[in-house]
Amino acid sequence: MSNHSNFIVVGGGTAGLLLASRLANSRSKPTVLVIEAGKGRSELSYRIPSSRFSLAFTNPEIDHGYNTVPQTELGGRELQYVRGKGLGGSTLNNFMLYLSGSKEDYNHWADLAGDDTWNWEESHRRLKELENFHFNVPAELQHLFNPSSRDHGSSGPIDVSVPTVWEKGSQKIVEDVAKYGVPINLDINSGNPMGIGMVPSFAASGLRTTSASANLRDKPDNLLIWTEATVGKIIFVNAHAVGVETIDGRKAFATQEIILTAGAFNTPKLLMLSGIGPKDHLHKFNIPIVKHLPGVGQSLKDHPAIFLTALMSGKLFNRTAFESSPSLTTAAKAQWEQDQTGELTHQFSSLLVMFNKLPNIYNTPEFHALEEHEKEYLKRDTVPHYEAVFMGPKIPPNAEVPEGKEYLSLVMFGMNPQGSGTVTLFSADPEDAAIIDPKTLSHAFDKRVLVDAVIDAIEIFKGTDIYKEGSEGWLNGPESLERAVVEKLVEEQALLVWHANGTVKMGKKDDENRGACVDGSGRVFGVKGLRVADMSLSHVTINGHTAAAAYLIGATIAEKVIQEYGL
């Protein structure tokens, strides 16, 4: 196996495999080497759609197994932080939601980066090129979900679909919330996410879509892959990245570039281990400085969230009835194994999302304390303040649902986090995990948003017919909506939803001393031959879920590299 390639891609995850495939399939056919810490993971058992919520918690072999440090605002709790390990990265074990955010996220991104290639018009074009969107909505449901073919693609590598059979109760939730006054959004991914609607999933034909299944279908011979290979160091010659070394001693060299797609934790870790980062931090570990770049490992952001579960009448839903029946689950598994159809493609398929503004947030001291450009952004029509998801997983998963009863989960996410955390080295040993400190809810605005989101979403829920007809209390929820009660609940139960970003953030060259690490093309400031193309460069935490954004980053950087090198 040759250890020389035109390009080396470090990390075979969401963005990495798409980027590598695009480069390898470009007209000039350069050699591309992908180096992935995990295994190939091609087993079909990882791609059962109904396992979307359980894979992250029941399959440690596809998880890096990270935890945060104790979080001060969460009562000193450490938070589990699942990161996919294997070809496909976190598309192996994420919740499969396709939510690309608001068009204003991308316009804001372009403004901050000083690079119009990231604006909504350009990003929307790339998203459509990526999609194989399955427009299979039954006629009787098109008043609830009906995306336009103008806004979506049908020939890209990434399969996206909505269920052809909606779960019991899901249609009623949308219609009831609409009666309350929240508009029905026929296409959450149109650039305007506001309102309530059905969430498309990364799935089709009864199978989860992963970055590996999407981008390695017809792998060309010039695309090489090393698995079970962890890169511990970037090799530099006079501030020019020329190769990498794995922790087991193998070396690989690139004639053109090394592109880091190891994720928001491991990309900054690898940079710091290789001498790029805050010099004072690197000096602690006697790491020679290649480039003092103070923003590396800083500006970590994520969406804070809280998962609540209502106890409901058994006549409205049927998840528990299915899960608790050995005969039903056994038959469903046999059918899925035979032809990837049946209940394992329908159960847990109907997630409903509501993006809302908080009615009184603009009058709060927490909002008034923000910088002017951030206040202006938050006032834009298509920028929500929170997200609520109905019909997610039962939390806690071992909560007992009485016989004959059902549950309905309600998850609130705080959008547009203002606080930020850090990713720092534990040691100079590449086998040691980085120290992850997201400083969750340390910013007053973020705490205000999440508390207000819980109150607002539950008030909407309580106003629906489905609540009035079927609510039987909470399996996990607030005793009342008094602010002090909700604040205590948030402290005890809030967590992060694994949307880490910003740790090698994009910006303008003159923003280097204000935390920017890469330019609008992902090129690392101050060195040659090194680029970043994953969520670590995202300086806007999109109003959606990050799988779509990660794919977009891979596609955008690939387009730039192909153009720069005339590939």
Instruction: Mark the binding-site residues for FAD, compressed into ranges.
Output: 231, 498-499
Angle at CA of residue 312, ends 306 and 316, nearest 5°: 120
- Is the distance from CB of 355 to CB of 101 less than 8 angstroms? no
281 is known as an active-site residue = no
| Residues in a beta bridge with 227 | none
Q: What are the backbone angles phi and psi of residue 206, rounded to the nearest 5°?
A: 75, 20
Which distant-in-sequence residues (6+ apart) come within 8 Å of 463 by Cβ?
180
Count of beta carbons in the 10 Å neighbourhood of residue 433: 16
CA pair distance 173, 206, nearest whole angstrom = 24
CA pair distance 455, 475, nearest whole angstrom = 17
Q: What is the CA radius of gyration of the chain?
A: 23
Please spell the DSSP secondary structure of 95-136, one letter per residue. --B-----HHHHHHHHHHHT-GGGSHHHHHHHHHHHEEE---
Torsion of CA 210, 214, 220, 225, to 10 degrees: -10
Q: Rounded to the nearest 10 degrees, what angle do helices 546-565 and 14-24 cross at?
A: 30
DSSP character at residue 255: E
Q: Is 332 helix (H, G, I), strand (E, B) or coil?
A: helix
Question: At 251, which helix (H) or strand (E)?
Answer: strand 251-260
- Out of 152, 346, 499, 539, the active site residue is 499
CA pair distance 108, 379, nearest whole angstrom = 12
385 is known as an active-site residue = no
- Is the distance from CB of 217 to CB of 24 less than 8 angstroms? no
Count of beta carbons in the 10 Å neighbourhood of residue 132: 17
CA pair distance 473, 249, nearest whole angstrom = 58
Q: Which two tokens stand for residue 232?
A: 């511990």
| Residues in a beta bridge with 409 | 309
CA pair distance 348, 125, nearest whole angstrom = 30
> Which residues are designated catalytic?
499, 545
